[in-house]
Amino acid sequence: MSPEPHPRHGLKQTLLSPVRLSIVAALSEVERADFKSLGAIIELSDSTLSKNLATLEEEEIVSIEKGRINRKPRTWVRLTPAGRQAFHAHLEALRATISTKYSGLED
């Protein structure tokens, strides 16, 4: 019987960046967030947030839409269903990585 693959294989490459992981974790708790509010929560500059959101959008983890509220332009960001699934799988892989350590200590 072949051994189980190491949990790290379940990690999502894009989410190994702490900044992108923070963005996705924050979005996992909301229906949608506007650009400014998201930046304020994660304490990121507009340029860093914009760059990382572009990467996440390219990977189809987030979707970005522009709109207007009370005649003011707003950029809305939300987690896609695939992004939510990837985030949960990534969390599971992280937990499995930790439990691998402790099960190894018991041996």
Does residue 57 touch other proteins according to CB under 8 A?
A: no
Select from 2, 4, 23, 64 the one that contacts other proteins (CB under 8 A).
23
Separation of alpha carbons 55 and 49, rounded Å? 10
- State yes or no: residue 82 binds other proteins (CB under 8 A): no
C-alpha distances in Å from residue 98, one per residue of 20, 21, 32, 106: 21, 17, 31, 13
Nearer to other proteins, 5 or 47 (CB): 5
Q: Give the total of residues touching other proteins (CB under 8 A).
A: 42
DSSP string, 62-104: EEEEEEEETTEEEEEEEE-HHHHHHHHHHHHHHHHHHHHHHHH
Check binding of 58 to other proteins (CB under 8 A): no
By CB under 8 A, name the binding residues for other proteins. Answer: 8-14, 16, 18, 21-34, 36-38, 41-42, 59, 69-70, 74, 87-88, 91, 94-95, 97-98, 100-102
